[in-house]
Structure 1
């Protein structure tokens, strides 16, 4: 690593390292317990629990074996929003339900208001129940893909709605969810748009090295 680049330490939100002003950032495990504590339950339940996350805009020589993902911008456009009926089928899938942390379902009234306000800010009129259904179904699509594009005979699952209606994209971006997939297309969630200034609805391609 260049001696002229300072390694920052992430605080409050995991996705801060995606802001273009961040060259390299270290996210300690406790950040998953901070602002997005409930969403961090997926991390705490995963094999990555307790591990530090390094987000770098450049290659780290000597650390190639630790690389989990390469994230680049994509020009893919959402084929179509998934219907409510399709989302309900996804979240009720018997193979998916046991994988969801119990804490994911414990949402305070304050958090409901916050996510609804963020959705409004980004142009959505969905109520909390609809938002939460989308949040959950979106994660399901990276665990048991139902909606995907095909490229070179490869299925690439994608975020099933626009940014305003999404939550915790960090789980897919940083390989907590869908870590066995070779490729996935992840749209920034409302939080990542607000905290990390990612362009809303602009898909990111996540590829395993």
Structure 2
């Protein structure tokens, strides 16, 4: 009987089936679609100070609560929407994060107007518009920030974005495949 080969994954996804699916199918895969880029902007902002699995488990609730991540609808949310969201147990009910998400939707649209797409803007920070592929061998510690995440975060803050510091920016870059931090030999690499 042939020996079964062990599947190698990045250690952070552990054994949770939802986390494994996210790791294998999404994390580190390049995203160029503005709707998906906006979704991750909302989710990463909500994640600030929390674990990613907390947000991942609430992702479907976020999709419903934030108009299926339709940026123009979210940008038009008013006080009634804020009140509704503050009562929604399916999301993180933090007023500042909710207001930040609405603000960021308006800023996102401004960038789309200025650059044609948010994707052109965000990917424009990368050398030749291509993902940064890091050599993570299990001994190398994955950084929380980089000079590139510092620069993107600084520019986005200057443009009025909220909840998008360098650490959140780097997590966003990993989630949207702007940077590939899968360990060498990982099934998703």
TM-score normalised by the chain length of structure 1? 0.29
* Greater percentage in helix: 2
- Greater relative CO (CA pairs within 8 A, separation 6+): 2
Q: Max radius of gyration: which structure?
A: 2
* Greater percentage in strand: 1
